[in-house]
Amino acid sequence: MRALDGVKIADFSWVGAGPRSTKDLADNGALVIKIESARRLDLGRRSPPFAGSPKDHDGSAFFAQSNTSKKSVTLNLSDPRGVDLARKLVEWADVVVENFGPGYMERIGLGFDELRRIKPDIILASVSVAGRSGPMAGFRGYGNSAAAHSGHAALSGWPDRPPHMPPLAYGDVVAPMFATVAILAALEYRSRTKQGQHLDISQIEPMVHVIADLFADPHATKTGNADPVIAPHGVYPCKGRDEWIAIAAETDAQWRSLCETLHLPFDPQFATVQDRVAQSDILDRTIAEVTVLRDRAALLSALAQSDVPAATVQNGRDVFEDPELRAAGHFVPVLHPVLGKSMMPAPPMTFSQTPPVVSAAPCLGADNENVLSGILGMSAAQLEELESLGVIA
Amino acid sequence: MSQLQGIRVLELADGLVDLGGRMLAELGTTVISLSRGAPRTSAREIAWGHGKHRASWPDDISALAPLLQDADILLEDRRRGAVIPDAMLQGHDRLIHVVASPYSAGGPRSGHAATDLTLMAQSGLMHITGDPDRPPLRFPGEQAYALTGIQVATGALMALHARHQTGRGQRVDVSALQAATLANYREAIMFEWTGRIGNRTGNRLVRGKSGVRQVWPCADGYVTWSMIDNPNMMRAVVKVLEQHDAAGELSQVDWAGILVADMPQDVIDRWETIIEGFFARHTKAQLGEWSLTLGWGLSVIHDLGEVRNSAHLAARGLFVPITTDTGTIPLPAPLFGHGAGGPVPARSFAPERPLDEFAGWGGLE
């Protein structure tokens, strides 16, 4: 048994901000039917890296990792008959998920009011950059837009340099996690009240929430890697090109252990954490002068034995090969029809009674027959006709 | 928001579970929180603690037994080791026990010390964040802790759903390293499939053969925008440049016929010089207005004050005055828009009270 066995999701979402949420649900047992179309291809299927040709819409590893354990049907939502089939899937579902641009679901006749007419206790989760209400409700943007509007970009980077945007859409990570929580809470609410609801998840707001501590500080500013109450707290060079180790000594005992491990004399000017925070620039230079002579793996091992919090700064290869992540089952092997045996990220948690199971992402339309016949009860002749008419496409 | 009214959560916090407990409180659960006493700013205490009932840490952990008796969910933060002995949990068959640890229980790093910074370093996120001439950088705030906290709430709610089917609780183990690494959705998979290793590129986004700028100075601050392969968006931008006689050679580009990602870097640089000059002559408000109305995909980079005072976020009710012992402070509260009614959680940062005052959950609901 898995935690969400029996939960049924009609998933209209695409690219990153919606699919990462429905992946969470699918890996834990929800039956997620991804409703997509070759005529309006999920841009995730066009995103690198690819196994083979970029033109193969089943060859994107990016798509595969965000859509594990789901089913795929292809419906042409620009055709009213395609929308009719989508409405039947809504009737079947507990939850509908979408992250289209503003107004799209309403234009095709699948706005929340209409969904409620189809199924009164339906839960609709809408994920968008700025939410479905307010002056910016119509804003079209990307995951990085949320970083700009939430304060993340302004507080990223070095204090003496302009705002910084890391090369990933962090808003496309945090918002779907909030969407997952929202959907689970709404399912709980529905089990008590028999009422559905429209969940309106803005990418900006979760991004604000995860830096709420900075909003609680009237003097918050860019600090680079420094921390207001921990020092040393930084990233220090090691022997070799672009080799770094992160060290954070939370306590006086850890500071003393760090000094011993680095063969630094115990300096009274750094005796208390207040001393160390006040002089963190000097402290960081002092530490960097000795770490740069050390091999990072050997230094990490020595610091671990001394109980000093530390980690090497890992790159993509390090992460992929990390023994800790491998031991935890973070990447699990699945067999995909196009990608072959490939490693997919698993949920970052284990359940003692309802363990998740990760299976391969679906090829485009791979489940048309099973879903449309098995769930909607269509005959083979009906399927054939709608395929020939471009409705199932 | 009261979707989870009546659910009782006991939280033993040390950084990893704090946001998870806050989310559950915001959803209507009753949360009694005990903090393990890690070094924290008062801002962090308030940000993650409001809406919870706060109890003092007991000298003897067995003093928690009466609260455990009636708890639905126990959030146990094991950033610095286990708190609750297994024996204390015997007989609590319906309890959902969410354990958050830096690493997996049986892995090679099990039991190693960790903080937000070291978890971010190991996740791979820092390697690609920052400038090529400087050390790797973390994200603002404590994002490894935040990501773990969200997964803690997720695990608790999934187990709650399962409990309806089975009548039994279970243990959920959340790995903070995995939670942080999951956010790094591109680097490991890029290595797996291409052998390429990403590096820090400053504010340049490199996709394909060339890199494009992401951050631009304007007349009164900064905006973020990039040349991407979206012909409609590019035409919308160039149209406004043309209206200001500032488009130059951009007017001649067939945006549907080229791939920005495949253009030589010197051409991208030349085009970006035109854009840079135009942005520099206009304000954040003007550029933001064009983006909203014309679909540019440009965003104004707001500082924290501008976020707090955003008319949009005010209309959505994101910031709420939170009462503390020294006054009120506006903090983000609702997690998302929803249709569930009922009372909102307490909008206060409660003072810490002796544990025995919460015996039998003391009519907290």
> Closest to B41 (Cβ–Cβ): which among A229, A244, A246?
A229
Q: Do B257 and B333 fall into the same domain?
A: no
The verdict on residue A26 lying in a domain is yes
pTM: predicted TM-score of the whole model, two decimal places: 0.97
Confidence (pLDDT) at A143: 67
Q: Do A133 and A161 fall into the same domain?
A: yes
Taking only the tens place, the pLDDT of each residue in B173-208 is 999 999 999 999 999 999 999 999 999 999 999 877
Rounded distance between C-alpha atoms, residue A286 and residue A2, angstroms: 52
The whole-number average pLDDT for the span B327-342 is 91
The verdict on residue B123 lying in a domain is yes
Q: Do A153 and A271 fall into the same domain?
A: no
Structurally, chain B folds into a number of domains equal to 2
Taking only the tens place, the pLDDT of each residue in B268-299 is 999 999 999 999 999 999 999 999 999 999 99
Residue B122 confidence (pLDDT) above 70: yes
Rounded distance between C-alpha atoms, residue B170 and residue A351, angstroms: 7
Best interface-test mutation with A: which of B185, B205, B300, B331 has the largest number of A CBs within 10 A?
B185
The whole-number average pLDDT for the span B337-348 is 83
Rounded distance between C-alpha atoms, residue A148 and residue A204, angstroms: 9
The whole-number average pLDDT for the span B8-35 is 97
The verdict on residue B318 lying in a domain is yes
The single residue of A24, A172, A284, A367 carrying the catalytic annotation is A172
> Closest to B122 (Cβ–Cβ): which among A132, A148, A314?
A314
Contact (CB, 8 A) for B149 and B18: yes
Contact A206/B199, CB-based, under 8 Å? no
Contact A164/B27, CB-based, under 8 Å? no
Mean pLDDT (chain B, rounded): 94
Contact B41/A308, CB-based, under 8 Å? no
Q: Do A181 and A271 fall into the same domain?
A: no
The verdict on residue A227 lying in a domain is no
Q: Which two tokens stand for residue A204?
A: 């900006």
Q: Do B56 and B33 fall into the same domain?
A: yes
Q: Do B211 and B344 fall into the same domain?
A: no
The verdict on residue B1 lying in a domain is no
- In A, minimum Cα distance to B142 occurs at A211
Q: What CATH number did the domain enclosing B240 receive? A: 3.30.1540.10
pLDDT band at B261 (very low <50, low <70, confident <90, very high): confident
Domain containing A54 equals 8-212+329-388
Q: Angle between the B176-183 and A171-193 helix axes, to the nearest 10 degrees?
A: 120
Spatial CA neighbour of A334 closest among A97, A57, A54, A51: A51
Q: Which amino acid is at B161?
A: H
b/e per residue B198-227 (b: at least 16 CB within 10 A): bebbbbbbeeeebbbbbbbebeebbbbbbb
B-proximal residues of A, 60-99, CB under 8 Å: 61-62, 65-66
Domain end, chosen from B303, B327, B345, is at B303
Q: Do A238 and A372 fall into the same domain?
A: no
Q: Do A151 and A42 fall into the same domain?
A: yes
Q: How far is CA A69 from CA A13, A64, A327, A356, in A?
A: 15, 10, 22, 10
Q: Do B50 and B123 fall into the same domain?
A: yes
The verdict on residue A217 lying in a domain is no
Residue B1 confidence (pLDDT) above 60: no
Domain end, chosen from B279, B303, B327, is at B303
Domain end, chosen from A291, A315, A339, is at A315
**Other CB atoms closer than 10 Å to residue B245's CB: what's the count?**
7
Q: Do A127 and A274 fall into the same domain?
A: no
Residue B278's H or E segment, with its range, is helix B265-280
Query: In B50-138, which residue ranges form alpha helices assigned H by DSSP?
Result: 65-69, 86-89, 116-123
Give the pairing type, strands A8-11 and A95-98: parallel
Contact (CB, 8 A) for B5 and B135: no
Q: Do A205 and A133 fall into the same domain?
A: yes
The verdict on residue B2 lying in a domain is no
Q: Give Dmax (Cα) for chain B.
A: 77
Domain end, chosen from A284, A315, A346, is at A315
Q: Do B164 and B213 fall into the same domain?
A: no
Contact (CB, 8 A) for A249 and A309: yes
Q: Do B337 and B252 fall into the same domain?
A: no
The verdict on residue A91 lying in a domain is yes
Q: Do B349 and B247 fall into the same domain?
A: no
Chain B residue numbers touching A204 (CB-CB < 8 A): 313
Domain containing B325 equals 8-184+311-363
Give the pLDDT means over successive 10-residue stretches in chain A (393 positions): 98 94 98 96 91 92 97 97 98 97 93 98 97 91 89 97 95 97 97 96 97 96 96 98 97 96 94 96 97 98 97 98 97 97 97 98 98 96 97 96
pLDDT band at B210 (very low <50, low <70, confident <90, very high): confident
Give the pairing type, strands B8-13 and B30-35: parallel
Q: Do B294 and B342 fall into the same domain?
A: no
A150 interfaces chain B, CB cutoff of 8 Å: yes
Q: What angle do CA B104, A156, B129 make, to 5 degrees?
A: 55
Q: Do A170 and A265 fall into the same domain?
A: no
Confidence (pLDDT) at A54: 87
Residue B365 confidence (pLDDT) above 80: no
Could you tell me which residue, A37 or B346, shows the higher pLDDT? Answer: A37
A51 interfaces chain B, CB cutoff of 8 Å: yes
Q: Do B60 and B155 fall into the same domain?
A: yes
Q: Which amino acid is at B254?
A: D
Q: What CATH number did the domain enclosing A133 receive? A: 3.40.50.10540
Structurally, chain A folds into a number of domains equal to 2
The verdict on residue A1 lying in a domain is no
Q: Do A157 and A89 fall into the same domain?
A: yes
Contact A349/B159, CB-based, under 8 Å? no
Q: Between chain A and chain B, how many beta carbons pairs sit less than 8 Å apart? A: 458
Q: How far is CA A162 from CA A4, B214, B246, in A?
A: 45, 11, 25
Contact A163/B222, CB-based, under 8 Å? yes
Q: Do B158 and B282 fall into the same domain?
A: no
Q: Do B320 and B270 fall into the same domain?
A: no
The distance of A335 to chain B (nearest Cα, Å) reads 15
Taking only the tens place, the pLDDT of each residue in B88-98 is 999 999 999 99
Q: Do B176 and B231 fall into the same domain?
A: no
Confidence (pLDDT) at B155: 98
> Closest to A141 (Cβ–Cβ): which among B154, B191, B299?
B299
Q: What CATH number did the domain enclosing A296 receive? A: 3.30.1540.10
Active site residue A172: yes
Q: Do A271 and A136 fall into the same domain?
A: no
A205 interfaces chain B, CB cutoff of 8 Å: yes
Domain end, chosen from A265, A280, A315, is at A315
B-proximal residues of A, 217-276, CB under 8 Å: 217, 220, 222, 224-225, 227-230, 233-237, 242, 244-248, 250-251, 254, 273
Confidence (pLDDT) at A102: 85
The verdict on residue B16 lying in a domain is yes
The verdict on residue A171 lying in a domain is yes
Domain end, chosen from B283, B303, B323, is at B303
Chain B residue numbers touching A229 (CB-CB < 8 A): 39-41
Contact (CB, 8 A) for B29 and B87: no
Q: What CATH number did the domain enclosing B93 receive? A: 3.40.50.10540
